[in-house]
């Protein structure tokens, strides 16, 4: 339901200039393109830390995708220089892949912590952070950190 002003009309949001709006959409598309890579690297790092290996079967199961989909994504990680996979063996991360995984995990934790701090239930915060973490700018992440630091109990 739209909020109406005292005169009964819906207030109009200021429209950004075309270059500003285009820059915002390009940035959002770029982040969306890297979201899958970030999810895979983060999961691979977690599996290696907990189980000692990251098998494509486990990756597919945990991401809720088919084995061929996970295999295709691992191929993309390899082409991007983020992972190494050998037939019938686990997947490992390169140093660039590990850096991406750590950055993604840090963003995820920060978003979860903020959502919980503003009253979201932890389970909802964890689920919501899976999407939000990829689209938050560094400036907004810094604001989240500042907010959390200022509101520590």
Q: Report yes or no on whether pTM surpasses 0.75.
A: yes
The CA distance from 54 to 123, in Å, is 25
Q: What angle do CA 111, 147, 106 make, to 5 degrees?
A: 30
Q: In the chain, what percentage of residues exceed pLDDT 70? A: 89
- Confidence bin at 2 (pLDDT 50/70/90): low
Per the structure block, which two tokens stand in for 82? Answer: 């983020």
At 79-91, the pLDDT tens digits run: 999 999 988 889 9
Domains assigned to the chain: 23-150 (1.10.10.10)
What does the mean pLDDT of the chain come to?
89
- Which pLDDT value is given to residue 16? 80
- Which pLDDT value is given to residue 131? 83
CB-side exposure of 86: number of CA atoms within 13 Å?
4
């Amino acid at each position: 339901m739209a909020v109406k002003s005292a005169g009964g009309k819906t207030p109009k949001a200021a429209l950004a200039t075309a270059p500003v709006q285009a820059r915002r959409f390009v940035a959002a598309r770029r982040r969306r393109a890297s979201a899958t890579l970030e999810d895979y690297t983060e999961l691979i790092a977690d599996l290696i830390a907990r189980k000692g290996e990251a098998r494509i079967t486990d990756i597919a199961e945990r991401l809720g995708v088919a084995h061929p989909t996970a295999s295709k994504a691992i191929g993309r990680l390899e082409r991007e220089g983020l992972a190494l996979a050998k037939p019938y063996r686990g997947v490992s991360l390169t140093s660039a892949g590990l850096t991406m995984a750590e950055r993604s995990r840090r963003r995820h934790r920060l978003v979860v912590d903020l959502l919980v701090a503003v009253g979201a239930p932890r389970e909802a915060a964890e689920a919501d952070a899976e999407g939000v973490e990829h689209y938050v700018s560094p400036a907004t992440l810094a604001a989240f950190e500042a907010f959390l630091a200022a509101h520590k109990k």
